[in-house]
Amino acid sequence: MARRCDICGKGPATGNRIIRKGLPKKKGGIGLHTTGITRRRFLPNLQKLRVEVDGSVKSRLVCCSCLKANKVVKV
């Protein structure tokens, strides 16, 4: 199953999960130190919906931002 919105094409984004150790300087410590960086994925909030496309009913994967913007007509 593809993790892409059928309306806007929104897909997974990547980022980092950063692990820090120590007490911040503003709290009286010597500062935070990065001890690990791991790659991670931000997945879109996809919903499987029955929508009306060109007068016929089809099942589509639609992200919630398209649903809120009323870009699809639900059946």
Question: Tens digits of per-residue pLDDT, 9-41?
Answer: 999 999 999 999 999 999 999 999 999 999 999
Amino acid at 42: F
Cα–Cα distance, 3 to 26 (Å, whole number): 42
Mean pLDDT over each residue of the chain, to the nearest integer:
95
- pTM (2 decimals)? 0.75
Burial 26-55 (b: 16+ CB within 10 A, else e): eeeeeeeeeeeeeeeeeebebeebebeeee
3-class secondary structure, 67: helix
